[in-house]
Amino acid sequence: MAAHAHSSAAQPAILSEVKPTPFPRATLVENNRSFGWVTDKICGIIEGKTPTWWWVCFILACFVASFTVAGITYLVATGVGVWGHANPVNWAWDIVNFVFWIGIGHAGTLISAILCLLRQKWRTSINRAAEAMTIFAVVCAGIFPVFHVGRVWFAWYLFPIPNSNEIWQNYRSPLEWDVFAVSTYGTVSVLFWYVGLIPDLAVLRDRFFKAGNKVRSFLYGIFAMGWRGSNRHWSNYEMAYLILAGVSTPLVLSVHTIVSFDFAVSLLPGWHTTIFPPYFVAGAIFSGFGMVLTLMLPLRAIYGLQDLITQYHIDCMCKIVLATGTIVGYAYGMEFFIAWYGANPNEGFAFINRAFGHYAWAYWIMISCNVITPQFFWFKKVRENTAFVWILSIFVNVGMWFERFVIIVTSLARDFLPSSWGYYSPSIVEIFTFFGTFGVFSVLFLLFIRFLPVMPMAEIKAVMPQADPHGHAPTGHGDSALAHSTKH
């Protein structure tokens, strides 16, 4: 007893001498750059002459985007029947593409909001471009359901605006929830993005003014709202930013949850599953990070942003792709298990049909891209090979498109009554319309990188070691970031 008491009394004394090994933290801005370097680097992209590659890409993107314009014009002029939809597959590529694009957008909000709440400082150099990606992805997503309503000039019936029929929307329908979820998501994403842009637009305003370009200074100035870097302003600004991050987090989770309700609330085998909300959210983040990698790796190479998007950033993103990809893989397995365990023959058939039926090719593309591809990211060698990471990120995008295709089309094509079974193939109009949205997205993204700062300068500066007011002079050692990040 006495020995016991002795040892427990001695233990704290020993523990107090133990100095935990400092956990090595990666530097977020490499080569010990100064604040001025960050400003010059990021503003330089906008201030420099328009590069030739930009024009080439822009013209190409406009050409691709014209396919969407052509497809939609033809649809509006003729009718929604120009798409390949027919009983029983009345939802097909349009909803596949809608869910695909919305899902892509989710990584932007995840980076800007959830990682902000989790104090993941590495988000700073990629959040602006990722948020831009979100907004442009929502634009592309919105095209499909709006034109799928058929008579698009009545699309405003989706909103509670008094109309001549004097009837209102059915708020019991998940499709109506979707209208509110997606429009709120689009609006809040734009607001969040804009708030982040204000200090950087002010930087551009003043730089263009100094350079004598009054017109651009005026235009950036209007949107900069007269920002002057006042700390009294920063105080309210930081609070507003935090709250926006706080509300965007439940928002982004709710949006894909509600998108999954479009399916889960129905009674169709293959759709009617409770796993859908978390599974859709994980899938959305998975595909979104795939797209962030697809976009950021070329951007990093072209503009020489290796000091700002470091190997550490790529590692983090690859690991998120790995984690969410594995969650998605688990969800595929669990769906099968529940289809068997639920002992519902229709449900069981729906899943066996997915893997071995007419659409088995799509199912196995999905499995290879979504379950096998991310597993490469276990290896450091792979994560360090940027070209390979980029190729894998494309596979992730392809896989997630096929996931939505598999869920939507295979379930509808083989519903309850064998007499009504069918096989869906897209029409050329649908293919054009979808192909073109990549052009729409690229046009918007190219305009973004040409005219707006691709990285939030103020936020990057705030996570640099020199930003610490408690005296970490720039010593040339990357590990001063460690002291900074552990202090707060």
Q: Which residues bind another protein (CB under 8 A)?
A: 34-36, 39, 160, 166-172, 174, 176-177, 180-181, 184, 187-188, 191-192, 195, 199, 202-203, 206-207, 209-210, 221-222, 225-240, 243-244, 247-248, 250-251, 254, 258, 261, 457-459, 461-462, 466-471, 473, 488
Q: Distance (Å, rounded) from C-alpha 408 to C-alpha 422?
A: 13
In DSSP notation, 311-357 reads HHHHHHHHHHHHHHHHHHHHHHHHHHHHHHHTT-HHHHHHHHHHHHS
Q: Give the alpha-carbon dihedral of 432, 438, 443, 444, to 10 degrees.
A: 120
In whole angstroms, the minimum distance from the beta carbon of 457 to another protein comes to: 8
* Between 381 and 488, CB nearer to another protein: 488
* Between 73 and 235, CB nearer to another protein: 235
In whole angstroms, the minimum distance from the beta carbon of 145 to another protein comes to: 16
In whole angstroms, the minimum distance from the beta carbon of 92 to another protein comes to: 25
Alpha-helical regions (H) of 368-427: 380-383, 386-405, 411-413
In whole angstroms, the minimum distance from the beta carbon of 325 to another protein comes to: 28
Closest CA to 443 of 34, 65, 131, 153: 65
* Between 61 and 224, CB nearer to another protein: 224
* Between 237 and 359, CB nearer to another protein: 237
In whole angstroms, the minimum distance from the beta carbon of 454 to another protein comes to: 17
Q: Distance (Å, rounded) from C-alpha 71 to C-alpha 174?
A: 28
Q: Distance (Å, rounded) from C-alpha 170 to C-alpha 44?
A: 51
* Between 154 and 168, CB nearer to another protein: 168
Closest CA to 409 of 84, 104, 53, 121: 84
* Between 76 and 225, CB nearer to another protein: 225
Those residues with Cβ within 8 angstroms of residue 312's Cβ, 6 or more apart along the chain or in another chain: 26, 27, 28, 122
In whole angstroms, the minimum distance from the beta carbon of 240 to another protein comes to: 4
